[in-house]
Structure formats: C-alpha cells, structure tokens
A and B are shown apart, each in its own frame.
Chain A
C-alpha cells in the first residue's frame, strides 16, 4: 500500500527520462530486502523515494512539467496567436480590458467594504461568546419598542441565575467631558463608564496600569493610547490626573492606558471612567429594574447551548419583576449588533445589512456585465477566428486543445484586466474611502487579502467568461468553415441576444435604483416636518453643579437672565429651551413604559410614551403648530402641572374630537396623585429621521431645560450670531460655545442615505459605461459583418436611414424585453428599500421609464454611430470582391 502510493508520487515528481531505470533500481532493492527478510521494507522504500526528491531529478517545469501540461510547444503558439489577435483588434481588446478592469476594481473595492462591515466586533478573543441584553416592550402580546439598553441590575441577576453566563459587564455612555490639561482644553465626546470586567469581555490590550484594579476606585479613568498622548505626550500617563471642568469640576486619576479602539466596533470610546464614579455623583440606580440606562454585556461559556434561553429569561423576569411589568429580555450576539440591530438607543448610528446586500448586488451586476462583454464580443467575432479553427482541426488539433487555446486566451485577457484593475483600485481608493465615509484600506497593492481575492476572481472570471466562447469556437466543423459558407449558428445569436438583454436589464435596474434613492433622500430633506428651523440655532448651557436648593435656583436664574439678555437683542426673535433638540438621533428622547390614561376617558394603557421637556417659548421658537388649547405660560401658576400632547398620543387613545381633550387630565401610573392637565395639543412634528413615525409624546413644562433654541432675525442673522457668542462668553466663560444649526442636524441624519445614493450613482454609472462599451463593440462587429448585406440593399435602392432603422429594430426589441425583465426587478428591490422609511415616496413609476429612455438613447447613439459608418460606405467598396 505504502509502496504503491510512494510509486505514484515518484512517478509524478521524477523526471520522466530517468524514471524507468531508477524505478527498476528501487524495485530490485525492494526485492533484495524482501529476500533478506528485512524489517519495514515498505517504509524503507518510501524513505528511498522521499530521498529521491531532489532538484536534479525533478521533472523540469517548462517541458513535461509537474503540472500536467503536455505540449508546451503549442502554448507558445497560443500565446503568440493570442497576442497577435489582441494587437490586431485593438478596439476589441481595449473594450474588454477596460470593462473587465473597471468591473473587477469596483467589485473588489465593494467586496473589501462589505468584508469590513461584516468584521465589526469580531476582533475580541471571545467575540462569539459575547452577547448583549436588551429590553423589549410587550404590548398586547406583540413586541413594542425595542430598547438596546437595560438596567444595571440585569447583569448581576443574569450572571447569578444563568449557569451558562461566565461574566458580565455593565457600561453606560457618559456625558461629554470638557477637560483641561495645561494650556489646552479638550472636549471628550466618547466617554463611557466601565467596571472591572469590561476589559475582560472586550479585551483591548492594556498598555499601562493594572487591569485588575484600575477600575476599582471612583474618579479613576483609563485613556486610550492616542488620548494619553494628547494629554501627556510621551510621558507615562498612569498616576497623573486630569482636571475636568464640565459637566462638573473634578479631578480624575489616570489608572491605565489601553490600545486605541478600532473603527469596526459598535461601541467606541476614548476614555473609560470607573463606574463607581456614577455612585459618587448620584447618577446610578442599582436596584430599579426599569432604569434602562446601561448597556449590559454577557459572556457565555464556550459552546454554551442557547436553546430555550427565552423561556429562562421569561422566568427570571417574572421572578424579579412584579407580574404587571410587560417587558421581555432579549439577548443578541455582539457580533450581530452592527449590521442586524433594530433597537433604539444604540450607542451610535449602526450599519445596515440591507445596504451591504444592495452593494453586493451592484458589484455582481457590474462584474457580470463585464464578463458578458467578453462573451459577446468574442462570439460575435467568431467568424474571424473560424478559419483558424478549421485549419487547426485539419492539421490535427483535438477539440480539447482548441478549448484549451481559447481558455488560454481568456486567461490572458482577464490577466491584463486584473492588472489594470489593481492599478485602478489603487488610484480610486482615496475616492472610494471618501465615498463610503471610512478608511477601509490604505493600499491595495500590498494588501494580501485583496490580492488573493483578485487572484480568485481572475481565475473565476476567466473560466466563466472564457468557457462559452471556447466551446462555440472549438465546435466549428472544419468542412463548413473552410468551404467559406459559414454563418453563426442560430443558437449562438440567441445566446448573444440573451446576454445583451441581461446587460440592458441590469443597467436599467441600476439607473432606476439610483434615481429612486435620490428621490427618497430629496423627499426626506424637503418634506414639511411640522416645524420651521431655517433660522434656528442651538446652544447647550452647561450642567448644573448644584448641591443645594439655593444653588439650583441660582443656576436657573442665571439661565433665565441669559435667555432674557439674548431675547432683548433686536437680531434675536425668540429663545426657547428643551430637553431634546430636534434633529437628534432616534434615541435622543426620553421615554417611559409607565401606563398612561386620560382621566375619565380611558383605562390605563400599556406601551412606551415619549417625553420631552420644554419651556414656554420652545413651541414659538421652532414654529410648532398648536391645534387646540395653548402653550405653557410661566405667568400661570397652575402651569407647573400642565402638559401638552401631540396628535400621535391622542391617536393611540383613539380620541377623535381633539379640542374636547383640552383641560382634561392625564394620569401616569396607578397613583392618582400623578395627574397632569392637558393645556394644549400640538400638531405632529418629526423630531428625527423620517424612517421613524412620530411617536406618541408628552411635553412637560421645564424651567431647567438647557438646550436653547435661538430663532434669529433673517436680516440680522450674522449680528445675532455674534451677539449670541458674546453673551455666552459673558455668562459661561468656562465653557467653549458650540453653536449648531438645526437644519444641519437634520441634514446629518440623512448622511447615510445620501452616501448610499452616491455609492449607487457611481457604481451604476460605471456599470452602464461598461455595458455601453460592450454594445459599442458588438454593434461595430455586427455592422461590419453585415456590410455586404448593406451593400446589396443599397444597390437595390435602400436609403441610409432605412438601413440604420434596420439595425435599430433588432436592438429596440432587445431593450423592450430587458424593460419587461427590469421593471419588476426594480419594483421588487426598491419598494422593499422604500418600506424602511415611515415617510416614503410612492413607488415612482416614472423613474424606471426615464431610465429606460436613458438606456435607449445611449443604445441608439452607440448603434447609430456604428451603423451609419457602414451605411454610408459606397456599395462598390463592399461588393467589389463578389
């Protein structure tokens, strides 16, 4: 057995010239050993064979090489013929190479992007064992609002109750910190709290400090490497302290430095604050099951079975929470959060699996269009090569050899395409990074995964694009071909038509999709969202540091006089204040799951109610519409228990006659003391992206809301802004001012969608370009082939336009069929996409039609250009050889 295997291996690697006698020697030795009754005869044989693996005895690479290529002489010939053919038909070669190169480059860049998007949170050592706990409201047995956050308690409870859970960590996004280090002031936006377990689950490398103890004390912080550099330069950071000025002044001790957090995680941060600090400043609640302000992560044991986990979680919820509570715990793998989460209150704007899938579709479209070009152009040119095939066959070439020849040619063209693709990808990389908004790779030429994919797709592309032409060309019968009565077969023509239809349909889909994405984004940006914010800017006043009632009153009066001072300026119309600025992310709002009822009208109803705190000028400043009742009024004493509601809230209670609700009372929870009088009803307005419906919202009056919205006078815009800055530095000299324009905030919400549209635009243009290139080449070959027919027709009296029409007819028909295919596909894909938006355009049928017209125009120009050339030739030229 061993001997047989060894023999096979030997025969494979040994120089065939030496093989017979060495093999004989081996056999003789083997027999000698057998005769002498030696031990391990077979193994000795194997050893001998292994020792025969020497350079001087190996099969030579070029001739009769290890890879079974038998006639290298022919390969030289194939190469020569291929190169000559490519050089002779320069246009054909250029179209193919450019098409393949653009297609491959686009595909590979998109592929890299997709890989990046899928790599989120996969770099932790135990990434597959990490899960996040979240809350899902259950209303009437159905899932309501899904909240990514959960309460502090949950982590502890689940760790105790579920044997599968090994560790847990609880963390929270902290307010923005303003810190001072020497002369410079830093604004830290990415601050989170963490306990000692945090770095065990998310195992970022600790560069300095003791990982066990660095989170144990309040007021200690851990910096990432780059932040540590910013504060302390090259000195060691541990043991030093950072002075924080806002939200409260405090001195934080640096206890550790960790590596920088990469881009591909859903939970990014620059600074970790020990979560004991929260206790110190009173921002904690370790007992309340409903205080959903933390992200809770669990680490499950390796290979833990998660079947039946939902039931266990339900049982735990029941055990720890009173029966009435209707929430459900939900556990999701951390690796899935970035692409698959549909939760609100996520720590940052996440990616979209759908966008990734769409991109994948585009990239495949582009690649297929490029391959189709190759197939079409090659088979259209079959007549040119037919004689060569015939002759080769007559001389004695086998069909397999011819297939090999044309496959070789496909590999050659694809190789050139791949090399050009690499260059294009490298050059286009900065643009691509900008387009997707992330730096995914800096260089492709030395990026091994990219090169490997390129290699794979070179081979795959050559096989796919080369197979059909090779089969067609190698199948020609020498007699028919050499007799000169050769015509392309019917099935070949049909195949080509089919492929052209696919190309047109793909182009049509991409163009329409681009239009539709832009239309939707445009719609969202210009839809009347119910407030008017063109001239409104916002500033956020620092937190109150009040430790006593008096101090708090001081804070309020300072806030009020700041507002008054602003308002007194002529350039400023109104100054309002709110807890949540319009145009924030979907999680930028308060919410409660407490049951609510309208006293005397309805029972207590389940579900999430959203809450915003406004002062009595907010409505005016952003131009909200009050449809019944009135705004808050600071001069009305009883307005401390007043409340405003929106239409969506009333809809939830099924209230029809809106004005009837004014002056009725709303009760929160079961306590009849907790009642609020409805003074006004506002028209629904979109506080955030139009992906989300307007939520049922309660507006409470607030004195201390610190997000100010300042409505400026249109004429004195600049003066107003200047005055705002000056007044700010008078009132709050400690904190740098940050003015945001509300319309900008809304613009930013659609950044992702706009980017999606841009990506779509760029790549569908490329796809169309490749398709048109292919069509150009195809039309030129077809019209050349029919030049004699054209000559005869002209002799018989056909005019130039009649001939062009003749050519058009064929293409019209193809485009018609591709429209029939493309329209349903566009509808299916894009209607699904539009359904992501609560406020969406109706499916715009006009846009696919417009796209069809565009495709048609391009096709007509291309075909027309080629045919007119043929149609204008003097028939004497084409017919003189007949």
Chain B
C-alpha cells in the first residue's frame, strides 16, 4: 500500500499508533469545525458509492475503534479518519464498478466526455483489454484540464500537482501564483471535479 499524506495502510509498530484509549480521546476531542469538515469530506468520498448519508463516516470510525486500519500518532486524527473514508469509499466504488452493467456511464477519454464502456469498446477498435484499462483508470488529469480550459490558474495548479509538487509553497513557486490564487484554484478544482466524481475517485 502506498503512503498518502503521511497516512499508511501497511502494518506499523504498535507504539507508532494510537491506543484504544487515545482513539477514544481523539474522537471525544473533535471540535465542531472538525466534525463539519468530516461531513464535507464524507460527502465527497461517499459519491459514487451506495453508502447512505453518514454511513461512510460511521464505517471509518468503526475501523478506528476495531483497529481494522491504523491510526498513526504523527498524523492528525481528522486526517486519519478522512483517509479511512477515502479508502473505504474507494474500495466500495471499485466493488460496485465490477458489478456495473456495460451501459453504466463513466468519464473517459482525453476530452473528459461521459461515455459508457460499450462506447469505449467501440472507440478502442474492439480491443476489450484497452476498454477495460480505460474503464479502470480514466485519464483524469486530461479530464480535469479539459473542464478547466477557461481558467489558466486552475490548469497550472493541476499540472503542478500532477508533476508531484506538494504544498502551497511549492505550487506558488512553480506557478508564480499567490497563496490565495492557489487556494482558489484548488477550490475550483474540487467543485468542478466534485460535481462529477464518477471515474475520478478511483
């Protein structure tokens, strides 16, 4: 499993993770703003799944309680729960995608257009393997760039992130944008992609 934002799924020594009591204390210590952020994040990662409202957050908290996933000490608890929701939501989305019909719409292709796997199969010259690959991993960067074609700031930020630049400072230096403009660009990306997360949050 890979590392995302300092959050890892792999096994770590116990002393690097919160104990049961610390998990409980961390949950009780959540502020109202933390709770609001978790609801915003839950809404994002619940998209494209069959989880009912709040079920994904409940599942993530259960994972923390039951130690199905690790709670690293060096990562804030809100981020850990967010990453759990991202992971659980992603697994559920993938599981559902395997059961989708061949006519289920997805975002695919460099133009970011919505197509079905059946369309993709025809476009790929009747190559089933290519169709499956495109269905499993659509070119989301190209799709993100195409839906932001009217906004250069957003395009610079997308390209910077896709190139591996992390944090506002690196992005500011590489794009020449101010901190506020980077923040606004990220919010635009979130809003535009968030409105159609199918095929994006894989």
On whether the two chains bind one another, the answer is no
Q: Which A positions have Cβ atoms within 8 angstroms of B? A: none
Q: Which B positions have Cβ atoms within 8 angstroms of A? A: none
